């Protein structure tokens, strides 16, 4: 099905559907298509506390254009305080395990809580983005999030198709793309890429030969739960509270 047909199917099938937007280029397209199907669409986004200011500007531009609410999800402040107190505010530079712990606390856990009560969620994953995403299904059950349905309307789209749509429909897009960024996350963990680099090479660029995933969509490592692995070095997780 086309992306529009997929979204129509999702809204016809499920009572509560959330678009989870990072406000990268794919989010611009999904929100535009969905707004013509459901004017009361629900959009969630994660504010990790480390986003670049341009992301907040993009959120406001989308709110203004479509007249929609964007629900901003934030991490548990107590959990953030604990890991920062124990490991420092830039723990993610110290080791892969610390980076995964930071992503778990600031992104994965808040999203998991936010999606409880929803029947399905829409994401901007594309197979072309990375090897880890090559087998992305358009529709699949998501055991990582309460077994709800995960919908990726752009799974088969190319990067060129995303940008062709943005230009054709004159959509707002994240301003960091104009400064050489090809994938945008938290400010300390994202840089611009250079010609010839992988689309996600600017994410956690200091890591060598590591999976460029934070754990929202796929486990960051096949070796187990990152929080369980990292907790002995200073943070006990929710069970310790």
Give the model confidence (pLDDT) of 61-106 as tens digits: 999 999 999 999 999 999 999 999 999 999 999 999 999 999 999 9
Strand 42-46 relative to strand 139-142, pairing: unpaired
235 pLDDT tier (thresholds 50, 70, 90): very low
Mean pLDDT of 48-59: 97
Residue 20 pairs with which residues in a beta bridge? Answer: 44
Q: Give the domain 3-231 fold.
A: Rossmann fold (3.40.50)
Mean pLDDT of 195-223: 76
In angstroms and rounded to an integer, the radius of gyration of the C-alpha atoms of the chain is: 18
Give the model confidence (pLDDT) of 141-172 as tens digits: 998 888 999 999 999 999 999 999 999 999 99
The residues spanned by each domain of the chain are 3-231
- Is the whole-model pTM more than 0.85? yes
Phi and psi angles of residue 114, each rounded to the nearest 5 degrees, phi first: -65, -30
CB 226 within 8 A of CB 220: yes
How far apart are alpha carbons 96 and 216 in whole angstroms? 16
Residues 6+ apart with CB under 8 A from 37: 4, 7, 8, 11
Q: Which of 217, 121, 200, 191 is closest to 159 using CA atoms? A: 200
Look at 105 and 132; give whichever has higher pLDDT. 105
Catalytic residues: 214
Element (H, E) at 121: strand 120-122
């Amino acid at each position: 099905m086309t992306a529009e047909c997929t979204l129509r199917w999702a809204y016809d099938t499920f009572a509560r559907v959330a678009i989870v937007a990072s406000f990268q280029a794919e989010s611009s397209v999904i929100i535009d298509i969905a707004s013509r199907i459901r004017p009361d669409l629900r959009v969630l986004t994660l504010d990790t506390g480390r986003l670049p200011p341009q992301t907040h500007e993009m959120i406001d531009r989308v709110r203004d254009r479509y007249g929609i609410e964007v629900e901003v999800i934030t991490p548990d402040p107590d959990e953030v305080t604990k890991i920062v107190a124990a490991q420092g505010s830039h723990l993610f530079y110290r080791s892969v395990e610390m980076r995964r712990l930071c992503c778990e606390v600031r992104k994965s856990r808040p999203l998991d809580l936010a999606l409880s009560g929803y029947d399905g969620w829409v994401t901007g994953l594309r197979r072309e983005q990375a090897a880890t995403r090559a087998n992305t299904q358009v529709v699949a059950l998501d055991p990582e999030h309460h077994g709800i349905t995960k919908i990726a309307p752009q799974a088969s789209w190319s990067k060129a198709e995303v940008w062709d749509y943005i230009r054709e429909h004159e959509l707002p897009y994240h301003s960091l793309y104009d400064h050489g960024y090809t994938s945008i996350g938290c400010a300390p963990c994202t840089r611009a890429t250079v010609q010839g680099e992988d689309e996600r090479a600017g994410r956690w660029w200091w890591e060598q030969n590591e999976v460029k995933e934070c754990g929202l969509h796929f486990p960051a490592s096949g070796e187990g739960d990152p929080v369980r692995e990292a907790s002995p070095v200073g943070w006990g997780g929710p069970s310790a509270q």
